[in-house]
Chains A and B, each alone.
Chain A
């Protein structure tokens, strides 16, 4: 059982968290034409990094989103920051 540090609630069990995607993924502007490929990449492609991964998680207990940097090999948590538009 991993433990992740929620910036608001402290160290909590991973069962309280939910993965919410790769960090830095931007939704295409759908008021402009978006190709099938671009949309499919947005929906389906994940970096699936071996090693240092940057991800978005949500702490379901407080509903706050966080940017989590972790090592997918050693399972070490490298950093966690509050998730805010424009800040990451």
Chain B
């Protein structure tokens, strides 16, 4: 019980007391507190446990640099794991629990792990759990790892807004420098946005009595008022978390507990970074004990929250700004002793709270040790943007060097201390005048830890990386900082090494007898603070993320009792009725016996026009499209340049210079993209044009022995007889005076007519077909029945019955490969060693006996040799066929196994069965029904 609240300092609202609990104990705080400041004000010492050794931990910092205080927080039935205690505002009624500790942070049963620290050094897991197999250990280890746990509940309305914004000048940081930058620019007429992560702007200004001769809080108020008056905007509770390509800055703005933060994508013409400094921890024995804190953090606790970290404070520091911080604590009534840190032969005493300090053999009584081995500029955004760093020997820190010209770093982040010097530099930056060189008024003396010391000295507090671990990494030659980081997990906790990276690489430099800059830093990557994935999702959810395409006839389908499902991006009838299996079989059988009709509107209808259309189509298609006569239709394949089947479908030729491509429903965008690519790259785009009219035309297909009668009752102006209108031709006619296109093509193997009409009139067509069908006992059918009918005929679906390696000759369409003279897409790839292999996977049918269950799709065709199983292909489509009376299947199978009547073993999920290789055409093999 060491921290306490004073009345004379702090920005908290004492008129608004709040209550909360931590590990089941009740406490109180004020509006304006963070979780950490409120706990420290209540004298709580142990706020959490470290990740690996479960060592007791207090707060190290008072803001984003704190790696220790992580809580699971519950409020109003909402639980959020892994809240950063130092930056989360306190709200009334919050219930806090320490993560990685059970039952409480103060008495954690896994605390005993620390006794085994000698055996748990860096690389322990890699070395220990390799034998006989890591997977034996993986489950319990993964269970032990990690911090807070999700409660599995969905938080209602947890939705981020994504805001796109722009400005002339973005100022990051609302301290003395940032406020001055924003005011100066706004008053000069610029569109200014200032971003600061605190609820109240001011940065560390409240640590000072006077700024520019005015009381600090008043000065801050004056700047805010002036910025507002000049039209500048300020975003509080907002963190600029990353700089991305082309001057994009990501800003996350917190909205309070349980609410999703907003994301602002800010395009700034210029940016001023005034993000301040954090303390570099001093590395010494047991420097992770509760009560060892950042000096700057302790001053902020006083200035913002009126909280003094301890009753008897020892300051261990090695830089020239120490007097300022000491005075903040003394002014708050603190009992402060300042000790200059020269060696690291120092040891903190006490276990769950510091109770003293051993220094060169001398014992100092204290309950709090405030340390700073130097002030480290916060330069993450500068590094994201490609800015360079220089190592400053006097500051013992990285300072900004050359970098992108649209960004300036100013204030203490640029190594400038003292209000006057800051104000002068900021104005020079904003107004574009010459900047003064940094004065060397600030100095920090390096105090590097002794790697041979017997003391346990912490470098990364959260991930428990000690000096010993870094020395071990060096001995095992993990000397590159990137290797060091991954081997020891240094800097990989939620604080991403804000406090640990510079001490670690300074130590590595010492171990290697190299200057610090030669060791280098690890890559700085966004986000600067943890952000919920929700901000990236935003409105990209459900239908807004993946909108389904909807049919004009959706209302009619629903009225007819359709069960709708997604097929190739379209919401289409799966079947009509209640029960899947029966209904689908009824529809599939009826279509063969009388007729069925279905909504085929998603079928592609891409027009290719122009004087070069013939040559273009002949180049795009595997099949010869130059010899196709007007009024005729041809089935064909489009390949990729690698020779794989990209799409199949029919092409209708309207006249010499006009084709309509009827590609697969799900490939329309891909096909029109492919056509455009070749049109513009390699052809004269003024002589051939591509126009996708899929949405302009809707299609109703009628199939079955009675199809001609039904279509004849609907369409006029066309002689539908088999002699006048054979298979693979099309005609133009009318329905109630409206133009319709009728194509005799079939995806079922039965006599079929596709009737296309302008989309606005399709309801009339559907009604007319429904009425005519009724007279013949025919009815509508869904996609599932259609899938069975096409499979009974061995008709493929590209992407289902083919994969990225399937070439047309694998599907039985080998003629153009050998005979076509003209160039076409993918031609040369059909004659490579790979294309000529004798064990290519061919499309084949697989037969099983009536009464068996259908083969599982995805099941493998296997052989066994010496007890080892080998895959030779897989089942691509499989259905129970009501028209053949037995299950049917298609598969892609190694050509050497494809012999009609051969028995093959089928393996799926541990079970084996057998099937017979057969023709994929299971129904009407002569095609009599098709040409009827």
Contacts and interface: CB of A to CB of B under 8 A. Distances in A.
Interface of A: 1-3, 14, 20, 27-31, 34, 36, 39, 42-43, 56, 58, 60, 63-65, 74-75, 83-85
A29 B680 contact: no
A71 to B, nearest CB: 12
Contacts of B827: 30
Contacts of A83: 680-681
A64 B680 contact: yes
Interface string B672-716: 110011001111110000000000000000000000000000000
Interface in B214-246: 244-246
A43 B641 contact: yes
A20 B246 contact: no
A3 B164 CA distance: 14
Contacts of B684: 85
Contact of B681 (A39, A56, A60, A74): A56
Contact of B828 (A30, A58, A60, A65): A30
B832 interface: yes
A20 B677 contact: yes
Given A58-B677, A85-B682, A31 B829 contact: no
A23 to B, nearest CB: 10
Contacts of A36: 832-833
B680 A31 contact: no
A63 B673 CA distance: 7
A2 B681 contact: no
A14 B822 CA distance: 37
B248 interface: yes
A44 B641 CA distance: 11
A84 B679 CA distance: 10
Contacts of B265: 1
Interface in B817-852: 821-824, 827-829, 832-833
A72 to B, nearest CB: 11
B828 A34 contact: yes
B677 A85 contact: no
A30 B639 CA distance: 15
B246 A2 contact: yes
A88 B449 CA distance: 62
Interface string B232-273: 000000000000111010000000000000000100000000
Nearest to A21: B681
Pairs of residues from A and B, 8 with the lowest C-beta to C-beta distance, nearest first:
A65-B680, A2-B245, A30-B823, A39-B828, A63-B676, A30-B827, A30-B828, A2-B246
A1 B680 contact: no
A74 B215 CA distance: 45
17 contacts: A1-B245, A3-B246, A14-B245, A20-B677, A20-B681, A28-B828, A29-B823, A30-B827, A31-B822, A31-B823, A36-B832, A36-B833, A39-B828, A39-B829, A58-B677, A60-B673, A63-B672
A27 B673 CA distance: 18
Interface of B: 244-246, 248, 265, 386, 641-642, 672-673, 676-677, 680-685, 821-824, 827-829, 832-833
Nearest to A3: B246
Contacts of B822: 31
A84 B676 contact: no
Contacts of A34: 828
Contacts of A74: 386
Nearest to A20: B677
Contacts, number: 57
Contact of B682 (A1, A27, A39, A42): A27
A58 B673 CA distance: 10
Contacts of A31: 821-823
B244 to A, nearest CB: 6
Majority secondary structure, B binding face: loop
Nearest to A60: B673
Contacts of B673: 58, 60, 63
A63 B669 CA distance: 11
Contacts of B245: 1-2, 14, 75
A50 B830 CA distance: 34
Contact of A85 (B248, B683, B832): B683
Contacts of A28: 828
A37 to B, nearest CB: 11
Nearest to A73: B386
Contacts of A1: 244-246, 248, 265
A39 B642 CA distance: 10
A43 B821 contact: no
| Most chain A Cβ neighbours within 10 Å, of B641, B673, B681 | B681
B828 A85 contact: no
B171 to A, nearest CB: 21
B680 A43 contact: no
B607 to A, nearest CB: 14
B609 to A, nearest CB: 16
A34 B642 CA distance: 14
B166 to A, nearest CB: 11
A61 to B, nearest CB: 12
B642 A43 contact: yes
B674 to A, nearest CB: 11
A56 B676 CA distance: 13
Nearest to B823: A30
| Most chain A Cβ neighbours within 10 Å, of B244, B265, B677, B832 | B677
Nearest to A76: B246
A1 to B, nearest CB: 5
A8 B677 CA distance: 17
A17 B153 CA distance: 38
A65 B677 contact: yes
Contacts of B685: 84-85
| Most chain A Cβ neighbours within 10 Å, of B683, B685, B822 | B685
A1 B166 CA distance: 14
Given A28-B828, A31-B823, 17 more contacts: A1-B246, A14-B245, A29-B823, A30-B824, A31-B822, A34-B828, A39-B832, A43-B829, A58-B673, A64-B680, A65-B676, A74-B386, A75-B245, A75-B246, A84-B680, A84-B685, A85-B680
B795 to A, nearest CB: 30
Nearest to A31: B823
A85 B827 CA distance: 22
A28 B685 CA distance: 20
A85 B265 CA distance: 38
A10 B147 CA distance: 47
| Most chain A Cβ neighbours within 10 Å, of B824, B828, B829 | B828
Nearest to A40: B832
Contacts of B244: 1
Contacts of B677: 20, 58, 65
A28 B672 CA distance: 23
Contact of A65 (B386, B642, B681, B823): B681
Nearest to A32: B823
A22 to B, nearest CB: 11
A34 B821 CA distance: 14
A78 B681 CA distance: 22
A18 to B, nearest CB: 8
A33 B824 CA distance: 14
A36 B835 CA distance: 12
A65 B679 CA distance: 10
Contacts of B829: 39, 43
Nearest to B832: A36
A15 B245 CA distance: 13
Nearest to B250: A1
Nearest to B686: A84
B269 to A, nearest CB: 13
Contacts of A63: 672-673, 676
Contacts of B672: 63
A84 B680 CA distance: 7
Contacts of A56: 681
Nearest to B675: A63
A24 B828 CA distance: 20
A75 B384 CA distance: 13
A20 B823 CA distance: 21
Nearest to A85: B684
Contacts of A84: 680, 685
